[in-house]
Amino acid sequence: MLLRSRITGTGSYAPEKILTNFDLEKKVDTSDEWITERTGIKERRIAKDAETTSDLCLEASKRALQAADMKPGEVELIIVATMSGDMPMPSTASLLQKKLHAKNAAAFDLNAACSGFLYGLSVADNFIKAGTFRKVLLVGAEIMSKFLDWQDRSTCVLFGDGAGAVILEKARGPRGILSTHLFSDGNLWDFICLPGGGSQAPPSAKTIKDKLHFIKMKGNETFKIAVRTLEKLVIDTLRENNLKPSDVALLIPHQANLRIIKATAERLNMPMNKVAVNLDRYGNTSSASIPIALDEVVRSGRIKRDDYILLEAFGAGLTWASALIRW
């Protein structure tokens, strides 16, 4: 029977602190009405000063391992999708390996911003299909709040912190990851970026003064491209698997903007009760958004055996990606 990779456990974690739109009204020139109307976000979670991305990874990973009935020592590979890791080196995955006591695992990070979890899912899936690894821990985790200019109302209202994790294992049969699809257009890199801190603009008094260590975003331009791109991405993914939108039990999109999510669903003629939405409570958690939403729908019982689940994301790079799963 066909060799596949199958998700056998999910887990998620978000910091305790909640920052509402009303709290933001006191920090920046904005309002709950303005944020809700344009994004659909009502609140987001914010990490403590001492909390690191690997701390969030650890809690989500523990829950995923427990759901999969797996011990840390059984994990053979750890992939952490993040753009807000603990430090430039070593990888956040290596720090997670230490905290988790997963002594038998290889570990590395992957950065495709908001598409990172799906890029990681594709990498893990292909490792398993190739026979390189049998049991993989994939985590999408971000502490976006530490990279925001809290005086820039166009970006600081959008993002939140959190982590989501899945366990993937080798399996045979019709169930599992059916396909993954990855795309990028580096010509549009400046639509969403964090320009400071790398080799192009190393940390200096000037980069700090110019606020280059904060996320920059061209919101309107990104919105227009995202809606068009995601519609084509979803249709192409289903077509390659000989499925129609009506065959999909649940669409789990990247949680960036409710208007983008609704526009994509509308163009696919898909009712919103078949779309997972939680950005009202978490905001945009970048690579963590899809695995957090996935964990929530799994634990709430919204996904049944043999359901077709479609995941899709769009983010900095620009990058976009999708995955089709038979649960």
Domains of the chain: 3-173 (3.40.47.10), 178-326 (3.40.47.10)
What would the mean pLDDT of 122-139 be, rounded to a whole number? 97
Q: What is the per-residue pLDDT for 219?
A: 85
**What span, in angstroms and rounded, lies between the C-alpha atoms of 228 and 215?**
24
pLDDT tens for each residue of 34-70: 999 999 999 999 999 999 999 999 999 999 999 999 9
pLDDT in tens, 146-158: 999 999 999 999 9
The pLDDT score that the predictor gives to residue 2 is: 84
Question: How many other CB atoms are there within 10 angstroms of residue 200's CB atom?
Answer: 9
pLDDT greater than 70 at residue 318: yes
| Positions marked catalytic | 114, 254, 284
State CA 221 to chain mean position distance.
21
Per-residue pLDDT, 10:
98
Residue 223 has pLDDT above 90, yes or no: no
Whether the Cβ atoms of residue 255 and residue 285 lie closer than 8 Å to each other = yes
- Distant-in-sequence, close-in-space partners of 155: CB < 8 Å, separation ≥ 6: 148, 149, 214, 215, 216, 217
Beta pairing partners, 80: 109, 139
Q: Are 83 and 38 in contact (CB under 8 A)?
A: no
For 106, 128, 218, 296, the CA distances from 299, given in Å and listed in that order, are 28, 25, 36, 5
* Tokens, residue 87: 């430090």
Find the mean pLDDT for residues 239-250.
95
Is residue 13 within 8 Å of 163, Cβ to Cβ? yes
User: How many CB atoms sit inside 10 A of residue 262's CB?
Assistant: 15
To the nearest whole percent, how much of the chain has pLDDT over 90? Answer: 94
User: Over the stretch 255-301, which tens digit does the pLDDT of each residue have?
Assistant: 999 999 999 899 888 999 999 999 999 999 999 999 999 999 999 99
pLDDT band at 229 (very low <50, low <70, confident <90, very high): very high
Instruction: Please report the pLDDT score of residue 254 as a whole number.
Output: 97
Report pLDDT digits (tens) over 279-291: 999 999 999 999 9
Does 207 score more than 90 pLDDT? Answer: yes
Q: Average pLDDT over the chain, rounded to whole?
A: 96
Residue 96's pLDDT is what?
98
Q: What H or E segment, with its residue span, contains residue 51?
A: none
Helix (H) or strand (E) holding 232: helix 219-240
Strand partners, 6: 169
In order of 61, 150, 224, 231, the CA distances from 189 in angstroms are 31, 23, 15, 21
pTM: 0.96
pLDDT band at 220; cut points 50, 70, 90 = confident
Over the range 56-73, which residues count as b (16 or more CB within 10 Å of their CB) and which as e? bbbbbbbbbbebbebebe
